Structure 1
């Protein structure tokens, strides 16, 4: 109808449009002709670097790490369903199945099972394994004392904690709690590790700090990265003259020259005698 006919099928034109949209959304570039069905096109992975999928224009953000950190942030903010949906839709779990079992065992107080599971996580540093085992068995020790099972607590100290060879001074301190339970209540402080009634969730947080970040994503990791970026932008701002609360995530921070004071609000006059 008065124009040059397009010999390309409509499906192929649609595929190119979809690819362009995907390119705009993740910063990747078209490096080869589009082929295959539109379904295959939308399922194509993001650009990769050294065999790993990456996101962002610089190619330095690993997709798996990025998704895991976002999921961790969602859970921390209380968006449990959203975090679970992200794991399911992306196919990238926040934690491995073994780590999930380990965390559940800690929260349920299955101490012996959790120590066994700890060794199945795949940690290569034996010192880390022993230090983590020490924290778990220490919690077991305190809970036995809370239940007034002094002999069981003593047995745990002698046969499970002491053989680890970790923190001998702490082992001696734990033994004093058995000899004189009142010593524990007199010396413990909310700010010390000697808190006998330390919660299991607190123990999990301590284990999280001890274990590699690849095993358990650190708490507040996304917030830390965002804050770090904002602080770097603020420090690099040549004309910085604004409050931190005025910084926004929607755009890079940069103060203009117009924010530098250019007029005097008060002028002090000095007499000749004062000069």
Structure 2
């Protein structure tokens, strides 16, 4: 009887050793559960029931759902802010950053016709700039905006002609182009008074104007606010 008991003990010992060598180990718990580790996966056994390792499918599904988000539709004011940021980055020469910003937001920095208009204004090519305005009419949110833009453009043209001493040409702009617009007649009276300025310094002082060049033309473009007037 003892020999049989010894044999059973040896058999159990061999069974445990074999299980360990095969990567399996059993640990008995006080609650009657047995945890078996098989190649790094833990399986709990209770009355013949086994539990499989938790799957990562749930987390993967949530990750994929979080990655696919519906793009928010931007409001007009938000698009205007993005265009302002994009224009500033463009002025700094960060063109790749601008392209990425426009691509991700779905906005356009500026309409091609507006870009052409902007370039002609900065170069002082007034006839071409006026022609560009006609192309921009169909893109305006408000038709009345084109009148204001034309007035500001002609005002700059008029002041630059006066500064250059081209008085007759300035007078022609005042009478044949600015006055027929019938826009801000009070301002037109003030502009006509500048014809009496004897020299360029006097003109710049009275008009509170920087004079012909990049500074005043840049301010003109800011007043025109092309990015707000043109539909995106």
Q: Which residue of 1 aligns with 2:125?
A: 110
* Aligned: 1:182 with 2:198: yes
How much is the aligned-residue C-alpha RMSD, in angstroms?
3.7
8 Å CA contact 1:143–1:196 kept in 2: the answer is no
TM-score, normalising length from structure 2?
0.58
Unaligned runs of 5+ in 2: 1-40, 44-50
1:5-44 deviations in Å (ceiling 9; x for gaps): 8899x7x974541322x3xxxxxxxxxxxxxxxxxxx4x6
Shift, 1:136, TM fit: 0.2
Higher helix share: 2
CA distance in 2 between partners of 1:126 and 1:63 (Å):
21
- From 70, 85, 90, the counterpart of 1:45: 70
8 Å CA contact 1:141–1:153 kept in 2: the answer is yes
* Aligned: 1:73 with 2:90: no
Q: Which residue of 2 aligns with 1:248?
A: none
1:183-221 deviations in Å (ceiling 9; x for gaps): 8754754xx75527161001111112xx6835399xxxx
Shift, 1:101, TM fit: 2.2
- From 155, 158, 170, the counterpart of 1:153: 170
Q: Which residue of 2 aligns with 1:94?
A: 109
8 Å CA contact 1:87–1:93 kept in 2: the answer is yes
1:169-194 deviations in Å (ceiling 9; x for gaps): 3323333333x2328754754xx755
Higher strand share: 2
User: Per the alignment, do residues 124 and 63 of structure 1 end up closer, same or farther by CA in structure 2, a change over 3 Å counting?
Assistant: closer
8 Å CA contact 1:68–1:93 kept in 2: the answer is no
* Aligned: 1:131 with 2:143: no
8 Å CA contact 1:142–1:196 kept in 2: the answer is no
Shift, 1:149, TM fit: 1.7
User: Per the alignment, do residues 162 and 214 of structure 1 end up closer, same or farther by CA in structure 2, a change over 3 Å counting?
Assistant: closer
* Aligned: 1:195 with 2:209: yes
* Aligned: 1:19 with 2:65: yes
- From 167, 174, 181, the counterpart of 1:164: 181
* Structure having the higher Rg: 2
